[in-house]
Chains A and B, each alone.
Chain A
Amino acid sequence: MSSVERNDKYRETERDKEKLRELRRRRLNFRLSRLKKQWKIFYKSPYGKAGFYIIVILAIIAIISPVIQLQSNPSTYVAPTVDTTVPKLLSENFVGNTTANSSYQISSYGSSTTITGSNWVYSIDSNGEIVALQLETPSSSVIGKAVDVFNLSISPSVPVAMSVFTLVESTNAFTGAQVMSNYIMVATSSGHLTLARISDLSSSGSPIDPRLVSMQNVSLGSGFALPPISSVLPVNQPSIPNIPFLSSSIPGATSNVGKIIAITENKGNSTFYLNVIQDSGLKISSDKSLPFSTAPSGMEFYGSFFQSSGPQLVLITDKSTMYAYRDNGSLAWESNLSGMNFSGQLQIPLSYQRTNSPGNFVIAAASNATSSDLYRIYTSNGTASILYTFASPSISSISSSYGSTGFPSSILAIVGDEAYVLNGPNHLLGKVPLTSGVGTYSIPPLYDPSSNTYIISSTSGAFYSLTGSLGTNPFQWGELPQRYMKGITPPNLILNAATGTESITFRGLNGYDYVYSATGVSVNPIGPTFHTASGAIFPLGTNSEGNDVWSQFIGSFAPDWVVGIAVGLIGIIVAIIFGMIIGYYRGFISVAVDTITLVIYLIPGLALLIALTSVLKPSLTNIILVLSFTAWPFTTFTILGIIRSVKQRTFVDAAKVSGAGTLQILRRHMMPNITPLLIYLTSISISGAVGAIATLQFLGIAPLTILTWGGMLNPLYDNYYLAAIAPWWVFPPTIALTLFVMGFIFLSRGVDELVNPRLRRR
Chain B
Amino acid sequence: METNINERQDKESGKVIVSINDFTLTFKTFDGTLRALENVNLDIYEGDTIGIIGESGSGKTTLATSIMGMVADNAEVEGYVKVKGETVASKDISGRSFRNLKRRQKKILYEKLINMRWKDVSMVFQGSMNAFNPAYTIEKQIGEVFKIHTKLTDEQIRKKSIEVIEAAGLNKSVLKSFPHELSGGMKQRAVIAMALSLSPSLIIADEPTTGLDVVIQAKIIEELKKIQRQQKKGMIIISHDIGVVSQLSKKVVVLYAGRIMESGPTWDVYQRPLNPYTLALMNSYPSLERAKRKMNGIPGETPDPYEERKGCLFAGRCGFADDKCFNETPELREIQKGRYSRCHYAEKLIGIQMSSDLAQADQNIEEYSNENETIMKLENVKEYFTLRTSAAGSLFSREEGSRYVRAVDDLSIEIQRGEIFGVIGESGSGKTTLARVIVRLLDATSGKILYFKSRKDTVDQSEDKDGVIDITAVKDRSREIKMLRKYSQLIFQDPYDSIDPTMSVYDVVNEPIIAHNITRDPLVARDMVGNALSTVNLRPPENYFERFSHELSGGERQRVAASRALVLKPEFIVMDEPISMLDVSLRAGFMNLILEMRKQFGITVLYITHDLASARYVCDRLLVMYLGVGMESGRSEDVIRTPLHPYTKALLKAVPVPSPEWDPQLVEIIGEIGNAVDVPKGCRFFKRCIYAQSICKDTPPPKMEVGKDHWYLCHFSQEELSRIHEGLAKKS
A650 surroundings in chain B (CB, below 8 A): 492-494, 497-498
Question: Is B511 among interface residues, defined by CB-CB distance under 8 A?
Answer: yes
Do A657 and B503 touch across chains, with their CB atoms under 8 A apart? no
* Residues of chain B from 530 to 550 with CB closer than 8 A to chain A in the complex: 545-546, 550
Do B546 and A30 touch across chains, with their CB atoms under 8 A apart? yes
Return the contact of B564 from the options A654, A672, A760 (Cβ within 8 A).
A654
Do B492 and A653 touch across chains, with their CB atoms under 8 A apart? yes
Closest beta carbon of chain B to A37's beta carbon, Å: 10
Contact code string B506-529 (vs A, CB < 8 Å = 1, else 0): 010001101110000011001000
Question: Is A23 among interface residues, defined by CB-CB distance under 8 A?
Answer: yes
> How many angstroms between the C-alpha atoms of A659 and B486 in the bound complex?
7
Return the contact of B490 from the options A30, A654, A668 (Cβ within 8 A).
A654
Closest beta carbon of chain B to A674's beta carbon, Å: 10
A654 surroundings in chain B (CB, below 8 A): 490, 492, 498-499, 561, 564
User: Can you name the residue of chain A whose Cβ is closest to the Cβ of B525?
Assistant: A23
* Residues of chain A from 9 to 25 with CB closer than 8 A to chain B in the complex: 16, 19-20, 23-24
Question: Is A675 among interface residues, defined by CB-CB distance under 8 A?
Answer: yes
> How many angstroms between the C-alpha atoms of A281 and B495 in the bound complex?
123
Question: Is A656 among interface residues, defined by CB-CB distance under 8 A?
Answer: yes
> How many angstroms between the C-alpha atoms of A650 and B546 in the bound complex?
21
Question: Is A39 among interface residues, defined by CB-CB distance under 8 A?
Answer: no
Question: Is A294 among interface residues, defined by CB-CB distance under 8 A?
Answer: no
Return the contact of B439 from the options A16, A657, A672, A673 (Cβ within 8 A).
A657
Question: Is A658 among interface residues, defined by CB-CB distance under 8 A?
Answer: yes
Do B500 and A659 touch across chains, with their CB atoms under 8 A apart? no
Closest beta carbon of chain B to A281's beta carbon, Å: 101
> How many angstroms between the C-alpha atoms of A648 and B501 in the bound complex?
14
Contact code string A493-531 (vs B, CB < 8 Å = 1, else 0): 000000000000000000000000000000000000000
Do B500 and A664 touch across chains, with their CB atoms under 8 A apart? no
Return the contact of B523 from the options A16, A30, A44 (Cβ within 8 A).
A16
A661 surroundings in chain B (CB, below 8 A): 477, 515
> How many angstroms between the C-alpha atoms of A760 and B29 in the bound complex?
8
User: Can you name the residue of chain B whose Cβ is closest to the Cβ of A30?
Assistant: B546
Do B500 and A672 touch across chains, with their CB atoms under 8 A apart? yes
> How many angstroms between the C-alpha atoms of A402 and B280 in the bound complex?
119
Question: Is A49 among interface residues, defined by CB-CB distance under 8 A?
Answer: no
Question: Is B489 among interface residues, defined by CB-CB distance under 8 A?
Answer: yes
User: Can you name the residue of chain A whose Cβ is closest to the Cβ of B34?
Assistant: A761
Question: Is B504 among interface residues, defined by CB-CB distance under 8 A?
Answer: yes
Question: Is B502 among interface residues, defined by CB-CB distance under 8 A?
Answer: yes
Do B512 and A658 touch across chains, with their CB atoms under 8 A apart? yes
Interface of A (DSSP majority class): helix
Assess A668 versus B523: contact at CB under 8 Å? Given A654-B564, A760-B30. no
User: Can you name the residue of chain B whose Cβ is closest to the Cβ of A753?
Assistant: B30
> How many angstroms between the C-alpha atoms of A654 and B565 in the bound complex?
9
A657 surroundings in chain B (CB, below 8 A): 439, 441, 485, 489-490, 565
User: How many residue pairs bridge A and B at CB < 8 Å?
Assistant: 88
Question: Is A649 among interface residues, defined by CB-CB distance under 8 A?
Answer: yes
B516 surroundings in chain A (CB, below 8 A): 659
Assess A669 versus B500: contact at CB under 8 Å? Given A658-B515, A762-B74. yes
A656 surroundings in chain B (CB, below 8 A): 441
Contact code string B473-491 (vs A, CB < 8 Å = 1, else 0): 0000100001001100110
Question: Is A660 among interface residues, defined by CB-CB distance under 8 A?
Answer: yes
B504 surroundings in chain A (CB, below 8 A): 30
Question: Is A651 among interface residues, defined by CB-CB distance under 8 A?
Answer: yes
How many residues of A are in contact with the other chain, CB < 8 A? Answer: 29
Do B515 and A664 touch across chains, with their CB atoms under 8 A apart? yes
Question: Is A739 among interface residues, defined by CB-CB distance under 8 A?
Answer: no
B501 surroundings in chain A (CB, below 8 A): 673
> How many angstroms between the C-alpha atoms of A72 and B522 in the bound complex?
54
Closest beta carbon of chain A to B496's beta carbon, Å: 9
Do B485 and A673 touch across chains, with their CB atoms under 8 A apart? no
Question: Is A655 among interface residues, defined by CB-CB distance under 8 A?
Answer: yes
Do B522 and A20 touch across chains, with their CB atoms under 8 A apart? yes
B482 surroundings in chain A (CB, below 8 A): 659
* Residues of chain A from 643 to 688 with CB closer than 8 A to chain B in the complex: 649-651, 653-661, 664, 668-669, 672-673, 675
* Residues of chain B from 419 to 449 with CB closer than 8 A to chain A in the complex: 436, 439, 441
Contact code string B543-587 (vs A, CB < 8 Å = 1, else 0): 001100010000000000100110000000000000000000000
Do A649 and B497 touch across chains, with their CB atoms under 8 A apart? yes
B514 surroundings in chain A (CB, below 8 A): 660, 664, 668
A757 surroundings in chain B (CB, below 8 A): 550
> How many angstroms between the C-alpha atoms of A23 and B523 in the bound complex?
8
B561 surroundings in chain A (CB, below 8 A): 654
Q: Which of A16, A650, A762 has the most CB of B within 10 A?
A: A650
Closest beta carbon of chain A to B608's beta carbon, Å: 14
Closest beta carbon of chain B to A516's beta carbon, Å: 67
> How many angstroms between the C-alpha atoms of A655 and B477 in the bound complex?
15
Do B486 and A673 touch across chains, with their CB atoms under 8 A apart? no
B490 surroundings in chain A (CB, below 8 A): 653-654, 657
B497 surroundings in chain A (CB, below 8 A): 649-651
Contact code string A741-762 (vs B, CB < 8 Å = 1, else 0): 0000000000000000100111
B31 surroundings in chain A (CB, below 8 A): 761
> How many angstroms between the C-alpha atoms of A23 and B529 in the bound complex?
13
> How many angstroms between the C-alpha atoms of A521 and B501 in the bound complex?
69
> How many angstroms between the C-alpha atoms of A656 and B441 in the bound complex?
8
Contact code string B615-658 (vs A, CB < 8 Å = 1, else 0): 00000000000000000000000000000000000000000000
Closest beta carbon of chain B to A41's beta carbon, Å: 8
Closest beta carbon of chain B to A576's beta carbon, Å: 16
Do B511 and A668 touch across chains, with their CB atoms under 8 A apart? yes
Closest beta carbon of chain B to A579's beta carbon, Å: 17
Do B492 and A658 touch across chains, with their CB atoms under 8 A apart? no
User: Can you name the residue of chain A whose Cβ is closest to the Cβ of B507?
Assistant: A668
B74 surroundings in chain A (CB, below 8 A): 761-762
Do B515 and A675 touch across chains, with their CB atoms under 8 A apart? no
> How many angstroms between the C-alpha atoms of A477 and B564 in the bound complex?
83
> How many angstroms between the C-alpha atoms of A624 and B357 in the bound complex?
79
> How many angstroms between the C-alpha atoms of A377 and B515 in the bound complex?
102
Closest beta carbon of chain B to A456's beta carbon, Å: 71
> How many angstroms between the C-alpha atoms of A669 and B500 in the bound complex?
7
B500 surroundings in chain A (CB, below 8 A): 649, 651, 655, 668-669, 672-673
Do B511 and A23 touch across chains, with their CB atoms under 8 A apart? no
> How many angstroms between the C-alpha atoms of A762 and B546 in the bound complex?
27
A658 surroundings in chain B (CB, below 8 A): 485, 489, 511-512, 515, 564
Do A653 and B502 touch across chains, with their CB atoms under 8 A apart? no
Closest beta carbon of chain B to A708's beta carbon, Å: 37
Assess A651 versus B512: contact at CB under 8 Å? Given A20-B522, A656-B441. no
Assess A660 versus B515: contact at CB under 8 Å? Given A669-B500, A675-B502. yes
Do B523 and A651 touch across chains, with their CB atoms under 8 A apart? no
A16 surroundings in chain B (CB, below 8 A): 523
Do B511 and A20 touch across chains, with their CB atoms under 8 A apart? no
A655 surroundings in chain B (CB, below 8 A): 500, 511, 515
A20 surroundings in chain B (CB, below 8 A): 522-523
Do A672 and B515 touch across chains, with their CB atoms under 8 A apart? no
> How many angstroms between the C-alpha atoms of A48 and B512 in the bound complex?
37
Do B441 and A761 touch across chains, with their CB atoms under 8 A apart? no
Do A659 and B502 touch across chains, with their CB atoms under 8 A apart? no
What would be 7 A-B contacts, judged by CB atoms less than 8 Å apart? Answer: A24-B522, A44-B30, A650-B493, A657-B439, A659-B486, A660-B515, A668-B507
4 tightest CB-CB pairs across the interface, nearest first? A659-B485, A672-B502, A659-B515, A658-B512
Residues of A in contact with B (beta carbons under 8 Å apart): 16, 19-20, 23-24, 30, 44, 649-651, 653-661, 664, 668-669, 672-673, 675, 757, 760-762
Known: A653-B441, A657-B441, A761-B31. 19 other contacts (CB 8 A): A23-B522, A649-B497, A650-B492, A650-B497, A651-B499, A651-B500, A653-B436, A653-B492, A654-B490, A654-B564, A655-B511, A657-B439, A657-B565, A658-B564, A660-B512, A664-B515, A668-B511, A672-B503, A761-B30
Residues of B in contact with A (beta carbons under 8 Å apart): 29-31, 74, 436, 439, 441, 477, 482, 485-486, 489-490, 492-494, 497-504, 507, 511-512, 514-516, 522-523, 526, 545-546, 550, 561, 564-565
